[in-house]
Amino acid sequence: MKRLTTLLALCLSSFALAFTGCQTQGPSKTVDRGYTAPKSQPTQWQAAQTSKPVSVKQATRVQATKSASDVILKTNQIEVTKTVLEPASVGGLLKYRISIKALDDVGTVRVSESIPAGIQFISSNPAVSFNGSSANWTFPSMQRGQTQNIDVTVKPVSEGDHQICSTVSVDNAFCLDVFAGQPKLDVVKQGPATIELGEEASWTVTVSNSGSADATNVIVSDKLPDAFTPTSNLTQNIGTLAPGETKTVNYSAKAIKQGNFTNRAVATYDGGPAVAGESGTPIAVVQSGIRVRKVGPAEAYVFKPVVFDITIENTGDTDLQNVRITDILPKGASVTDNGKGRVSGNAIGWMIPNLPAGASQLIRTEIAATRKGESTNTVKVVSANGLEASDSVTTNWLAVPGVTISIADSKDPIRVGEATTYSIQVKNQGEFEPVSGTVTLTFNESIRPTAVAGDAQGAINGQTVTFPRTTLEPGKDTNLTITAEGAKIGPGRAIMNFSADFLSDPIISQETTNVY
């Protein structure tokens, strides 16, 4: 019994921790229970590649000193101890432990135990996997200072020397560090928010490489909407962009269609996606417009103020800012109402801060002339964005004529029912201008008109007689007669009015006829 135990201890102490497998010669049968492990024999180390690089050194076998049942193998990566826990005779259960301690962070640790003939494997903790006569354990990885124990139970089934050898290996990784960069293009497009129809717009496209590798053969394309006609090359090659580098390109195009559009820029590089970077900017193609109209009389009399209307219209689709209006007056004009404008020399000025699209504004003035003849009054408008418009009106200023009127009855007094004749004269005393006017006579209840005669045919309507508009040449006169009869006792009155364009108020004359 003592001899079998000693032989088993000798086999355990002689196990080879060779990472390709180590065979250790067993001792002679004359070794007694006081056996001391022989001097260390060289073992071999084999590293298998796995996930972490580990330095590889030749394993050194360490001779047991405290007990014939301990076998220690130590490398710069692991320390392995193999110890008999419970000896046994033939038919008994012999228990021993394989203890592995990591001296550094290591990869996969593999332990293979060769079970010789004459030894029956019973169990282990942790569980074992068999490959023929080899019992195998695998530990995926071990951290520095970590320990893994394998407790094995076997049964000697025959007398004699038995050798149970262990092979321990550590997978070492040998890594090559490589880096694969990736370009990344950032595109920023800038341009005007609005553009007038027919004008040329310009855009700036900035391309930056914020990636980790060169972007080669970088091409920037302007995806111009159909509302524009290009005036520059739409595809531009800016070469290679190193990481952190920025380049800028410019595009221009003429607006040919109104509306709201988005202009996009797309960047590509060799080996990259179809769109490596893009940026869009909205733009509205608008058409601004302004119109001014000036309305005034074709003829007017000097010294008599007349009305002139100025209408400013925003005919476009954009609001107009700071619209300036200037009404240029002809020589000899006199301003009687400036329409809340500012008079400066021979002009009146106004400012409209904001004139919305489609809106209009009316300005009304009163102007009088101090000399006869034709004169032209011109108004001009200018907006802050440079739109201009103008309009003119020509007025023939006539000299004011001298007009006298008279009315006289042929018989006074008259009896009720008796007739009298009223003689009416309108004379143009002027020497230059004809006079056009209307004569109207109104009788009170004591006189009733019965007939009209003279240079113009009048119309009787109750107590009123109206003669049609008559034109008198310079120095000429018009003679009219009205026959009337007494209708009621009392003073009969005939009131004559002459009205004309050059007169602010009609000229009035009257005649009294007594009725008895």
Kindly tell me the sign of the dihedral angle through the C-alpha atoms of 327, 330, 334, 336: negative
Structure tokens given for 133: 């006569």
Kindly report the three-state secondary structure assignment for every residue of 239-281. Answer: EEECCCCEEEEEEEEEECCCEEEEEEEEEECCCCCCCCEEEEE
Instruction: Enter the CATH code of domain 2-171.
Output: 2.60.40.1170
Beta strand 134-139 pairing with 78-86: unpaired
Q: What is the mean pLDDT of the chain?
A: 84
Q: Which pairs from 82-86 meet CB under 8 Å and 24+ separation? A: 82/12, 82/13, 82/15, 82/166, 83/12, 84/8, 84/9, 84/12, 85/151
Confidence band of 71 (pLDDT split at 50, 70, 90): low
Higher pLDDT, 444 or 54: 444
Kindly report the three-state secondary structure assignment for every residue of 407-454. Answer: EEECCCCECECCEEEEEEEEEECCCCCCEEEEEEEEECCCEEEEEEEE
* pLDDT value of residue 120: 94
Instruction: Enter the CATH code of domain 185-286.
Output: 2.60.40.10
Confidence band of 59 (pLDDT split at 50, 70, 90): very low
CB count within 10 Å of CB 477 equals 16
Q: Summarize pLDDT for 29-57 with one digit per residue, the tens.
A: 322 222 223 333 333 333 333 333 333 33
Q: Where are the alpha helices (DSSP H) in 360-426?
A: none
Please give the torsion angle defined by the CA atoms of residues 60, 65, 68 and 72, in that order, rounded to the nearest 10 degrees. -30
Q: Summarize pLDDT for 379-392 with one digit per residue, the tens.
A: 999 999 899 999 99
User: pTM, whole model, 2 decimals?
Assistant: 0.51
Q: What are phi and psi of 283, to 5 degrees?
A: -150, 140
**Are 290-398 and 403-515 the same fold in CATH?**
yes
Confidence band of 429 (pLDDT split at 50, 70, 90): confident
Instruction: Enter the CATH code of domain 403-515.
Output: 2.60.40.740
Q: What are phi and psi of 4, to 5 degrees?
A: -60, -45
Confidence band of 502 (pLDDT split at 50, 70, 90): confident
Cβ pair 427, 491 in contact under 8 A: no
- Would you identify the CATH topology of the domain 290-398? Immunoglobulin-like (2.60.40)
Residue 65 clears pLDDT 50, i.e. is over it: no
Confidence band of 434 (pLDDT split at 50, 70, 90): confident
Domains of the chain, residue spans: 2-171, 185-286, 290-398, 403-515
Cβ pair 502, 304 in contact under 8 A: yes
